[in-house]
Structure 1
Amino acid sequence: MTKSELIKYISAKHPLLPPRDIENATRHILEYLSDALQQDERIEIRGFGSFSLHIRPEKVGRNPRTGESVRVPEKRVPHFKAGKELREQVDYAPASVS
């Protein structure tokens, strides 16, 4: 699902809300989540899941073309862990036939 599909879905469920307001709210929520992760904060949405950062330490890699050793710097990577309710809903949902 893309952001625009999410906005259309919410608009269909709540026809009294202007789509522009839904779009702004969605944008603000996603910006807040990004900002919080940039500040090394953990985000937990009960029943849905949590977002955190995993730190990949610096390492020495190899250039596949030349075989030369290359220093790969440390990286901070976003990580999502599904909550119990979400895992259960997905696990017991009937498989869709495409």
Structure 2
Amino acid sequence: MALNRSELVSAIATKSGLTKTDADAAVSALQDVLIEQLAQGEAVKVTGLLSVEPAARKERTGRNPRTGEEIVIPAGWGVKISAGSLLKKAVADLPVA
């Protein structure tokens, strides 16, 4: 089960003692900062939690899955998200499916 935004806001409000309105504002602010920093080509690193950074992608050749025709995928930008040690530890003991 995935946690949606309203559930995340509720959980943050409960854990922090903030109101849901303040917790929602904090989530919105985090979102805004991530977007602004990435748009400037800067990484955001929260030690132990995660690292988010822009990632350049080279032009490459791919295939149209429907026709099998080779196509050129242009160079562009993506986002690389890496889990920090706390996140990795959180899932380390989960059973493997």
Output the TM-score relative to the length of structure 1.
0.76
Greater Rg over alpha carbons, structure = 1
Residue 5 of structure 1 corresponds to 7
Uncovered stretches (5+) of structure 2, i.e. residues with no partner: none
Q: Secondary structure, in 3 states, of the residue corresponding to 1:87?
A: helix
Distance, in Å, in 1 between the alignment partners of 2:6 and 2:79 is 22
Percent sequence identity is 26
Q: Secondary structure, in 3 states, of the residue corresponding to 1:71?
A: strand
Query: Is the aligned partner of 1:33 residue 2:40?
Result: no
User: What residue identity is the alignment partner of 1:70?
Assistant: I
Residues 70 and 89 of structure 1: is their aligned pair in 2 closer, same or farther, counting only changes over 3 Å?
A: closer
Q: CA RMSD for the aligned pairs?
A: 2.1
Q: Secondary structure, in 3 states, of the residue corresponding to 1:37?
A: helix
Q: How many residues align?
A: 92
Output the TM-score relative to the length of structure 2.
0.77
Q: Deviations over 1:27-81 (max 9, x none)?
A: 01111111111211111101102111222111233444273x4332112111111
Distance, in Å, in 2 between the alignment partners of 1:62 and 1:88 is 38
